[in-house]
A and B are shown apart, each in its own frame.
Chain A
Amino acid sequence: MIRLDPKRSQNIAFAILLIVTILIIVPVLLIIGVIVKEGYSAITWEFLTGMPKDGMRGGGILPAIVGTLSIVTCAICITLPIGVLAAIYLNEYAKDNLLTRIIKLSIVNLAGVPSVVYGLFGLGLFVMLLKFGVSIIAGALTLSIMELPVIITTSRQALNSVPYSFREASLSLGVSRWQTIAHVVLPNALPGIMTGAILSIARISGETAPILFTAAAFYVPRLPHSVFDQVMALPYHLYIISTQIPNMPKNITYGTALVLLVMVLTMSLTAIVTRYYFRKRKKW
C-alpha cells in the first residue's frame, strides 16, 4: 500500500482542485472564442442597422435587436416595481403567518417552473384570453412573471443587507416605518436592487421559450410601432436562421449570436461594475 506523506497528499489535492476550477473557464473562453472567430466578419454597420434581405440570408438584424430591446425594457418596467414592492412588503412588513408562508412558497415555486411553461401560460392568458395577440406586451408580461421571483429574491437580499441599526436609529427619531423605508432603507438597498435588475435584464434577453408563442415573429421586416406589435427577437431569430433557412451563410448565424452575446455580457459587466463601485464606497 502506498502511503503519501501529508504534505504531498495536500499538494496533490490542491492541484486537482485547481485543475477542476480552471476547467470552468475553458467553456466560457471556447464559446466566446468560437463565436467571435466565426462571426466577427459579419459585423458591419449595415448588419447592425439594416433590415434583413434575401429571406434573411443577408442584410441586417436591426428588427431583431430592437425587438429584443423593447420586450426586455417593457418586461423590466413591469417586473421591477412589482418585485421591489413585494420584497419591501415581505421584508419590512409581513408577519410570519399563513399568508406570508403561502406567498414565499409561491415565489419558490414560480422560480422552479420551466420557461416553456411560462410561454404556454403567456399564450393562454395574455395572447388569447386577454386578446393582446402575439405582441411585445404579451411577451413582456410573460417574461416579467418569470423574472419576478429573481427580482424579489435579489431585492430582499439587498434590503436585508441594510443594517437593522439604521432602521432603529430612524424609528427612534419618531420617523414612521414607511418614512424609514423611503428615506433610509431603500436608498441604501438601491445598489443591490439595481445589480439584481441588470442581471435579470441580461438573463431575460437571451430567453427564447417564453417569447416563442407570445411575442416573437418569424419575419417582420420593419420596426414596431406600439407594444401590441409582433417583433423579431434575437434568440428566436438565431434559432430560425440556424435551423429553418437553407443555405444560410455561416458568418451571419455566428454574427447574430455574437451580437446577442455582447449585449448580455455588457449588461452583466455593468452589473459587476455597479456592484464593485458601491461596495467600495460602502463602509458599514
Chain B
Amino acid sequence: MNTQIPVIKTVDLNLFYGDFHALKNVNIEVAGNRITSIIGPSGCGKSTLLRVFNRINDTIEGVSVKGKAYFENTDIYHHSCDIDLLRRKVGMVFQRPNPFPLSVYENVAFGLRVHNQAGGGTLDAIVEESLRSVLLWNELKDRLNESALDLSLEQKQRLCVARLVAVRPDVILLDEPCSTLDPMATMKIEELMVELKKKYTIIIVTHNMQQAARVSDDTGFMLLGELIEFGKTSAIFTSPEKKETEDYITGRFG
C-alpha cells in the first residue's frame, strides 16, 4: 500500500450499544483517494463502523466507544473535536436516498446556505459544478426548480451525493448506497464512485460482494463485530488469508 498517512484510522476501537458489543478491537487504516469497501454478513457491524467515522452514531442513545479513531491527525472522539467540522469533512450518503422535500437546486445549495459559504453568483456555480460531478447536470439543468422528490431513485441518490460534494468534503462514506436501486442504476452509481475517487476518499459499506470486487481498491471483511481481514481487494478476493473470509466470499455463509 502507499506510504502516505492514512485519512482514517482506528486503534483498538470498541463500540457498545448499551450492553451489546458491536465493534471489537477494530484496527483499520484507510488510504486517501482510494475506494475502500467493507463487506460482511448482516449485523456484522460494517455500517456501525462506517458511522463511527463521522460520529453520526452519536445520535443513537446508549452508544459508547472505547479506543481511538482518527481523521487525518484528529482524534475524533476527543472532547475537543468539533463534530460539525468533522462531518463537513467526512460526509455520508445513506442506504435510502434521502433528499430534502425541496427543489433540486435547493437540495444541492442546502449545505452552502446553512454554512453561509457562498453568495448568489457563486452558489449557482457550485450547484452546477456539484451536479456535473455526479453527472446529473445535463439531465436536470432544466428541472432545477422541480421537487427533488419527483426524481427517480437513482437520480435522488446522485443528488444526495451532489448535495454532499457541494460542501467539499474530503471523505465520502457510502452506506449501502445501491441497496434500493436496480442493477442498471447500481452500475451507474458504481461508475460515479470510480469518477469521484480522483478527488475524494471513498469508503463504501456493501452487502454485495461483486460490487466490492468491481469498484474498490481495498476491502475489509467483518464478522460479528471484528475486522477479520483487510487488504487489497485483489488479494482478498483471490487469496484470502483467513478461513472465515474465504468461506464468506465463496458463498459458504452470509
For B, the interface residue count at a CB cutoff of 8 angstroms equals 32
Known contacts being A96-B61, A283-B149, is A174 close to B88, with CB within 8 Å? Answer: yes
Task: Determine whether the beta carbon of A174 is less than 8 Å from that of B147.
Answer: no
User: A163 contacts the other chain (Cβ, under 8 Å)?
Assistant: yes
User: A277 contacts the other chain (Cβ, under 8 Å)?
Assistant: no
* Residues on A with beta carbons closer than 8 Å to the beta carbon of B160: 169
In the complex, chain A residues 153-168 whose Cβ is within 8 Å of any chain B Cβ: 163, 165-168
Task: Determine whether the beta carbon of A173 is less than 8 Å from that of B98.
Answer: no
User: A77 contacts the other chain (Cβ, under 8 Å)?
Assistant: no
Q: Mark A168-194, 1 if CB is under 8 A from B, else 0.
A: 111111111001000110001000000
Q: Which of B22-30, B73-81, B107-115, B224-232 lies at the interface?
A: B107-115
Task: Determine whether the beta carbon of A184 is less than 8 Å from that of B100.
Answer: yes
* Residues on B with beta carbons closer than 8 Å to the beta carbon of A171: 56, 59, 87
CB nearest neighbor in B for A176: B84
Known contacts being A96-B61, A167-B59, A183-B114, is A173 close to B100, with CB within 8 Å? Answer: no
Q: When the two chains form the complex, which single residue of B94, B101, B115, B163 contacts A168, counting CB atoms closer than 8 Å?
A: B94
Q: Determine how close the nearest CB of chain A comes to the CB of B168; give it in whole angstroms.
A: 10
Task: Determine whether the beta carbon of B98 is less than 8 Å from that of A168.
Answer: yes
CB-based A-B contact count at 8 angstroms: 73
Task: Determine whether the beta carbon of A173 is less than 8 Å from that of B91.
Answer: yes
User: A95 contacts the other chain (Cβ, under 8 Å)?
Assistant: yes
Task: Determine whether the beta carbon of A165 is less than 8 Å from that of B98.
Answer: yes
Q: Determine how close the nearest CB of chain A comes to the CB of B151; give it in whole angstroms.
A: 11
User: B54 contacts the other chain (Cβ, under 8 Å)?
Assistant: yes
Q: When the two chains form the complex, which single residue of A95, A172, A179, A283 contacts B101, counting CB atoms closer than 8 Å?
A: A283
User: B197 contacts the other chain (Cβ, under 8 Å)?
Assistant: no
* Residues on A with beta carbons closer than 8 Å to the beta carbon of B86: 174
Task: Determine whether the beta carbon of B87 is less than 8 Å from that of A169.
Answer: no
User: A284 contacts the other chain (Cβ, under 8 Å)?
Assistant: yes
Task: Determine whether the beta carbon of A173 is less than 8 Å from that of B54.
Answer: no
Q: How far is the CA of A204 from the CA of B50 in the complex (A)?
A: 50
Residue picked from A168, A172, A284, most chain B C-beta under 10 Å? A172
User: A282 contacts the other chain (Cβ, under 8 Å)?
Assistant: yes
For A, the interface residue count at a CB cutoff of 8 angstroms equals 22
Residue picked from A168, A173, A188, most chain B C-beta under 10 Å? A173
* Residues on A with beta carbons closer than 8 Å to the beta carbon of B1: none
Task: Determine whether the beta carbon of B114 is less than 8 Å from that of A179.
Answer: yes
Q: Determine how close the nearest CB of chain B comes to the CB of A130; give it in whole angstroms.
A: 40
CB nearest neighbor in B for A172: B92
Q: Mark B59-72, 1 if CB is under 8 A from A, else 0.
A: 10100000000000
User: B167 contacts the other chain (Cβ, under 8 Å)?
Assistant: yes
Residue picked from B86, B114, B115, B160, most chain A C-beta under 10 Å? B114
Known contacts being A176-B84, A283-B147, is A169 close to B94, with CB within 8 Å? Answer: yes
CB nearest neighbor in A for B98: A165
Known contacts being A95-B61, A168-B94, A283-B147, is A174 close to B101, with CB within 8 Å? Answer: no
User: B96 contacts the other chain (Cβ, under 8 Å)?
Assistant: yes
CB nearest neighbor in A for B86: A174
Known contacts being A166-B100, A169-B100, A283-B147, is A174 close to B56, with CB within 8 Å? Answer: no
Task: Determine whether the beta carbon of A175 is less than 8 Å from that of B114.
Answer: yes
* Residues on A with beta carbons closer than 8 Å to the beta carbon of B92: 168, 172
CB nearest neighbor in A for B87: A174
* Residues on B with beta carbons closer than 8 Å to the beta carbon of A188: 101
Task: Determine whether the beta carbon of B54 is less than 8 Å from that of A284.
Answer: no
In the complex, chain A residues 77-129 whose Cβ is within 8 Å of any chain B Cβ: 95-96
CB nearest neighbor in A for B164: A173
Task: Determine whether the beta carbon of B98 is less than 8 Å from that of A166.
Answer: yes
Residue picked from B85, B87, B89, B164, most chain A C-beta under 10 Å? B87
Partner-B contacts on A (CB < 8 A): 95-96, 163, 165-176, 179, 183-184, 188, 282-284
5 A/B residue pairs, CB under 8 Å, sorted by A:
A166-B100, A169-B98, A173-B88, A174-B87, A174-B169
Partner-A contacts on B (CB < 8 A): 54, 56, 59, 61, 84-89, 91-94, 96, 98-101, 110-111, 113-115, 147, 149, 160, 163-164, 167, 169, 173
Instruction: List 9 tightest A-B contacts by C-beta distance, closest first.
Output: A174-B88, A172-B92, A165-B98, A173-B111, A174-B87, A283-B149, A169-B98, A176-B84, A175-B114
